[in-house]
Structure 1
Amino acid sequence: VAESDRPKVVELDAELAKWCKKLIFDSIRTGTALYNEGNVEECYEEWKNTTEQLINRLPPGEEVTMLQTSLDVSTTKEPAARPWMLRMSLETFSWLHFNTKASFDIHSATVNGYVEQVQILAPIFALVNLPKGPHLPIHVACNRSNQEIAKILLENRADPNCPTGDTAMTPLHIASSKGDLEMVKLLIKHQAALEVTRDTWTALHFAVDNSYLDVAKELMESGAEKSPVASYSIGNEKKLVTPLDMAIQHGDKQLIAGVLSFEDIKPQRFLTLSKLRLSQVDLKLFPPGLIHLSCLTRLDLSFNELRVIPDLISNMTNLRELDFSHAELESFPVGVCDLKSLGKLNLSFNKISELPTRITGMSRLERLEISNNQLISLPEELGGLTRLRKLTLDGNPLHSIPRDMLLRGTGRLLDYLRQISGCSADWKKMKLVLVGEENVGKTSLLKSIRAYQTKSGSIPSLRKSKSKPMKKEEPSISTDGVDVGELSIDDTVTFSTWDFAGQQLFYQTHQFFLTSRSIYIIVFNLVQIDESRIKYWLRQIRATSSDRPPIILVGTHLDDSRCNSRYLQIVRDNMEAQFPFKMWNIIQLHFISVKTDKGFRKLNKTLRGVAAKHKTITQKVPETFIMLDRLLIQEKTRNQYISWDDYCKLAQECSIPSASINIVTSFLHDVGCLIHYDSKESGLDELVILDPQWLADVMS
């Protein structure tokens, strides 16, 4: 009641005021106890007696008149009139102004947030459900987001489902439309009905329409129907929509993703939705509601934390484009293999380590982006994707696939995989290149490696190319140009050894023989270290190699008296400081003596380990590659080089398709089996050199 509308309050002396206050509060407690015990008639009698006592003791005035009216009402036999009697009595009590906080109007107490008064008044029978205007106290509490008062009211039998007298909104509707999550939880706890509608709208409609995702999730997790249909104004028209339709209409990605996280969520208006972008919405799981958007052709779930895509995605059969990039995927989503209409799939920047053999199920796939993952191999079945035009694989440690195959384009790579699918074999050849200054002991080191292998029980091949006779093993004579030979270690690998001359006169020719599929040994004299020469070779290897080939640093002349442990530690520290091993891909630093064999055991172990792990040895190649290599070895006994046309004929004899000849040629060049320069301008592309030693001799 507004202050101006209140009747003039009769001044009471202190003793009378104290008596009135005690009488009223005692009566409230007694009447409430009687009501809660089911003694309704006795409860009303208690209130009548209290009212009569007040009338008899209070001086004449408006208060007494109001009390007399309420007493008259109480004599009626109509049960509905009795709460009004209580209401009139309590408002009269509040007018008595025993103190400013002693209001007996539960509505006013709720509006003003007077928790203590509500605690006193709420237990009084029927008051919590007695309207003042169109609202009950619980409506007021929900409107004002006062969970503390709402809790008191609900614990005292306030009706959580009673609609307002004007808008017909229940307390749950009000709380949902305001986004008051705690209030919604409180109402649900006290049995608020989830499916009650106001003009066809449920609480879930109100929450979604106002973009309160947390409230919407709470309602659905509590059992609210996921796809109730409501009438919704879009422009000047009324449309039937579900909460999912509302979210899509708003265009709020976070809201859409949240609503779709429930399985039974379905659209009504957007049944034919074709495109949906839900990138960067902090998704932790694949939204199961997506499968009900059966007309989707493009779906973007990039930049989320999905980790796993369930197989149910296979039900989205109309998808044409799918983006799961930057989604923290830990494995390939196998379910997409059943999407026969899929034309574009982006799986870049994830943690995928393997592609499934079922990948051929995506028979219409034209573009597959799977860069920056953890793939170490590709399934042969990938070659069966005949429509694939674009395949991005950069940023993967694909050790099992020759790098030239990866660089030659999608078509050539698929041809290679098709060849492997026919028959594949292990490759056991690679280059071992020794470089360094003149007279640091490269040739002696290579001879000692061979000799050590013999002592170890492995009989290495000491063959050299026929075009250049073996030299006498005189360490004082420097190598001219490049010496090419072979070194076999067990049955694991056969090295094509390349001993590069150390004189600067030959440096310009060396770049023609440096390739990626090699192990490099940079040799230096421990007692005459020229760090500039070491740096030169590191840079030269880096500049002429498309990959980062492994490098072993070897210091010779360990038998020199100056090479004590303290000196060697200083050398090691300086090397690691000047040439960071990780940056240059330096695998190890060894100190050896060709006179005493000291250090060769560790060097041999490193060499074997690096070779065993090298991508050239670990990868599979088509058996046709090996067949061609054997034919070329036979041809080399007759010719040191052949024309490109003759070479192509040999390749075709091995059933190598014309489109793959450049690939196998690049591979054989890299591992040192032949030399071919793809330079049309110079005309060198028309020549295939079968004997690398012959070319090295010509250049020297």
Structure 2
Amino acid sequence: MTYIWDFAGQQLYYITHRIFLTSEAVYVVLFNLLESMYDKGKKRIHKGDKNVMTYDMTNIQIIKYWMRLIFTYAVPVESLQQQLQTKKPQIAVVGTHSESLPGTDEDKNKKIEEQFAIIFEEIKGTPYECHVVRKMYAIDNKFPTQSKMLTTLKQDVGRFLKAMPKTIPLKWLEFQYILQENGRTTLRMSYSKVCEVATSCGISVKNLIHTLNYLHDLGIIFEISKDESSFEVFLELMKQFGLLCEKIKNQESKHRSFFVPCRLKRSKDNVSIEHDTAQMVSIYMASEDFIPDSVFHPLVVSLIGMVQDMGYTAMLQLFSNYANIHLGLEHTLSLGPVVINNKPSLKLEILRVPIIQEDGTIRDILESVCR
């Protein structure tokens, strides 16, 4: 049995992709052969998503981003050596629109070879290089039934999958089928109900954890908690993945409320690259091939959680691309994107707020420190 997952290409969803990556899979990373590897990638944004955080990355940077993401989250650290030996997961790079390339067949083949040569050269020496299939898959979109390379791609993917099968008891398959059928009408099942279904399929409660782990790895189920209510479990998972953070309730409020940074409005203000002063310390985070959305939002959530745990009454100004956190009356933390050497980066700025005296004058920062 084979399952096909199509990951959303809009950057808004990038923060969720790591949740669904597994080593028991073949990944197909696609790019448009008509576009140069060093051209800026086209942003897949719907007209209504004007507040989505975006960055100018080249096509080769985007391809490497996906490879790095797959390697980071689909290859468990504890079994890294074993995974490297078996080269799981496999990553196939596929160029599309081959039929639209200009010139003769010879010209088209030359262009295809040039594009793939850049990719294979760029990934040399990277930890994910051994997972990338060294084959030039250039497919024809207009006439898929006549595309020989598309047929080759299907055959190769099938061959890769057959090399990594997991043999399971037939009763596991029956158990999976029942859970999936229930999933058509309900969002979650209680642990007691899951145990009941498992028992009816001949799976003991003692060995149930192995079946659940297997289905979790496949992405068939996401979580099952022994708690009858899964609401708190879902909230905790979303917190762990940096998708949301909870506001501290005031004593008068009976309701809980949450911040979801990736869904906030976009700010016109932001941090900038400048020299530090006696009142400011800056920390920069830069990388060769990552999109800061996947780091920015979880970092905002972590900072807010840290501030709350330290007992500060934090005043928050939060946007999808900028965060300003006031720590009491003396300090602020500001976090946002910057560009360093034409590469997307992040800046964390720690600022000591000037002290305003009763007469309206501002006390010198060094003077206040000495006192």
**TM-score, structure 1 length as denominator?**
0.26
Query: Which structure has more RCO (C-alpha within 8 Å, separation ≥ 6)?
Result: 2
Normalized per residue, the structure richer in strand is 2
